[in-house]
Amino acid sequence: MRMSQRWVMLCSLALVVALTASAAAQQRRGGFGFGFGRAPQGLVSLAAQEPVQKDLGLSADVVGKISPLNDEYRAAIQKEMQAAGTLDFQGLRDLPEAERAAKLAEYTKKTTEASAKVNTEYTPKLQAIVGADSIKRLKQIQIQAQGSEVLATADVAAELKLTDDQKKKLADLATEYTAKQRELFNPGTDQQEARAKRAELNKERDTKAEALLTAEQKSKYTALKGPAFDVSTLSTGRGRRGNNN
């Protein structure tokens, strides 16, 4: 593979890391840091998945209403992302590291705001179809799918009353595992093997993150997640099942 092609691939992976991190903030802004690998899906996208529908116990009539809403939701997301513009990966290559990071952060901010705008618009529409109780359960599933990354979000951090020391340790842990997981996706790497290793690292990171919580915080965190859901049954949005948790 030519150097320029390899650079584009690495920049793309860097953007995935950035977008994964920022997406977690779309409904809970103001977090202190994130890990890699599990961008939270919007509630509409979750509700459109069969395993989630079974968990919610939705009727065929309700399911039939979700599909067209999801089509509208995806079209709205695509429109907003197009409006946010694209990144010139080739142009980023020759920029100083600080400037390159700034441009990535700027683009991430725009796409995060675009995603948040659509989710804010469509979540009430979804609630009108499935009801408030199902929205509550969807949020629990969303939290479970994020794993320990959700501890970095402002709302959860406040709910658990995380200390500054805990926040720093969680941020350091996220940085450590971001680097470990990024190394898995080098050109030529077997993607299936890399995803399996990523899942292992996610579990390892989540275990270490939860070990930083007090007994009371763990209890609250468990309550926020609700009854266990097999997040490996969730689609990642790219035609694959998730392998996290």
pLDDT along the chain (245 residues), means of 10: 48 47 39 44 94 98 97 94 79 79 80 88 97 97 92 91 96 88 75 86 94 97 96 69 46
Distance, CA of 106 to CA of 187 (rounded, Å):
27
> What spatial distance separates the first Cα and last Cα of the chain, rounded to whole Å?
34
pLDDT at 244: 45
Distance, CA of 157 to CA of 167 (rounded, Å):
8
Assess if residue 3 is contained within a domain: no
Assess if residue 239 is contained within a domain: no
Assess if residue 241 is contained within a domain: no
Q: What's the DSSP call for residue 28?
A: S
Assess if residue 238 is contained within a domain: no
Q: Are 138 and 234 in contact (CB under 8 A)?
A: no
Q: Are 228 and 127 in contact (CB under 8 A)?
A: no
- Tally of CB atoms within 10 A around 97: 7
pLDDT at 52: 98
Assess if residue 105 is contained within a domain: yes
Task: Give the domain range for residue 16.
Answer: 8-233
Domain count of the fold of the chain:
1
pLDDT at 22: 40
Assess if residue 58 is contained within a domain: yes
Assess if residue 60 is contained within a domain: yes
Assess if residue 245 is contained within a domain: no
